[in-house]
A and B are shown apart, each in its own frame.
Chain A
Amino acid sequence: MPDAARSVHASPEAVRAPDLSGFDRGYYVGFLQKCRFLLESVFRLEVQGLDHLRLESPGILAGNHNWGLWGITEVLGISYAWYLRQSEPPDLIGQGGPELQKIPVLRTLVRRAGIVVASMPGMLGPLRDGRWILIQPGAVVDQGRPIWQRRRSRMKKVSWLGPERVLTDQLAYIAAAAEGGYPIYPVAWSGTHELAPILWESTRLLRWTGTQRLRREENLPSFPITLNHFINLGLFLATPLRHSAAGWVGFALLNIYFDPAFSYPIFPFRLRIEIGAPIQVPNLSGKRLPLAERQRLYREIHQRVTQSVDAMLVELDEGRPWVRPFDAVAEGWRALRASKVLTTMRCALRRLKPSFVNSRSTQ
């Protein structure tokens, strides 16, 4: 059962704020200043839309999330712009996965940066204290999408009906916004997926490798197959290790269970962030709206946030023509599947197989 959470109908006093005792704004701002070269020169950070922000009252920054380890650069980028490109902004409290609080060294930075475990109290507490919230509702589901889906966010949560993956809209942040009428500012992050492109995602590999079980807390949506995997394979085949079983086992283990092995940067990228105009959310606090009506409203607002983020993603993707070949390959594959060529080939192979088996058995 997930962590206990209080009903949104609870009184403000009953909402237990998350533990922000580790939050050290001065330290974090100092850390971001040290990241100036990395963000401005290496990642060539570009942030648009800061003028949309109305800092006098709390709001929620919500948007897409891109690939894996590099997702941290997105948080650094927006935090950098938030604290260093604005005059006296309020605190920005990030919502992260529970695993971030467990990784040695990183967890100290995470706590000092004001990143808490994503939950209703984790959002409501800071909002009621006058702070802002940063959330990427799709989390790992959004991060796992292939590069040719980069222009379409996937702010969803994943559930499993046995082996079947079910993706549904992640609405928690909308419910938090509705608890005080806090506006939602859609944010689009673009570029991180270019570092180490995901070519495909596989739910079967997720199960077969045991990754789903090993990393249950993260509730991963799939196993990403990256361009790095193929590069690694090519490099491995060029070494004498390819002749040994131990070499193959080591290669497999590294490329399945050690994330940096298949997410190291291949291409340079530009981190581009755009903040959209705020989406107003009605204040439902204390109102006994029928549940069905409330859910309908949440979905509608989520749809608007998604559309805004996706429109910005398309805009930010302009001027990146070198990524188009990935789209062309994906389009070609989709056309191939739709053309039934593969089905025809499979049928032909099935017809051939019995005669092949029969000819072998008579030898």
Chain B
Amino acid sequence: MPVDQIAAAETIGARIRDYIVTNFLEKEGARLDDDVPLGASGILDSFSAMMLADFVEEEFGVVMDLETTPPADLQSVGAIASFVSRNLRANA
């Protein structure tokens, strides 16, 4: 992936991570790595997944349809950030 795209994905990832940590973990400053499986760790359930989808749409203007988006794209902070980054480039 080109450097600028990596940087964009990292910035997007940071914002997604902040949102998850603040709203779903309620622990400011908690360490959440990009590859932590969000479903398996209990961080995301059906409700919080919807809230995250709403956040992504509100924050980045990217629609994250939980029914049609491949699960692999939603598995971790890193995967979601890549998904958003790809969609932003496609929409640009």
Number of A-B residue pairs, CB cutoff 8 Å, is 76
Most chain B CB inside 10 Å of its own CB: which residue of A1, A157, A172, A290: A1
Q: Are A159 and B54 in contact (CB under 8 A)?
A: no
Q: Are B66 and A168 in contact (CB under 8 A)?
A: no
- Report the nearest B residue to A117, measured CB to CB: B46
Residues of B within 8 A of A6 (CB): 50, 66-67
Within 8 A of B (CB), among A79-94: none
Within 8 A of A (CB), among B37-92: 38-47, 49-51, 53-55, 58, 66-67, 71, 74-75
Cβ of A171 under 8 Å from chain B: yes
A172 interface neighbour in B26, B43, B45, B67, Cβ under 8 Å = B45
Please classify the interface of chain B as helix (H, G, I), strand (E, B), loop, or mixed, using the class held by over half of its residues.
Answer: loop
Given contacts A7-B66, A157-B42, contact A166 B27 (CB under 8 A): yes
Q: Are A120 and B42 in contact (CB under 8 A)?
A: no
Residues of B within 8 A of A295 (CB): 23, 51
Give Cα A8–Cα B24 distance, bound, in whole angstroms. 18
Q: Are A159 and B71 in contact (CB under 8 A)?
A: no
Q: Are A166 and B46 in contact (CB under 8 A)?
A: no
Give Cα A166–Cα B71 distance, bound, in whole angstroms. 24
Cβ of A158 under 8 Å from chain B: yes
B25 interface neighbour in A9, A161, A219, Cβ under 8 Å = A161
Give Cα A4–Cα B52 distance, bound, in whole angstroms. 13
A: which residues have CB within 8 A of B? 1-9, 119-121, 157-161, 166, 168-169, 171-172, 175, 216, 219, 290-291, 295
B: which residues have CB within 8 A of A? 23-27, 30-32, 36, 38-47, 49-51, 53-55, 58, 66-67, 71, 74-75
CB-CB nearest 3 A-B residue pairs: A172-B47, A5-B46, A1-B71
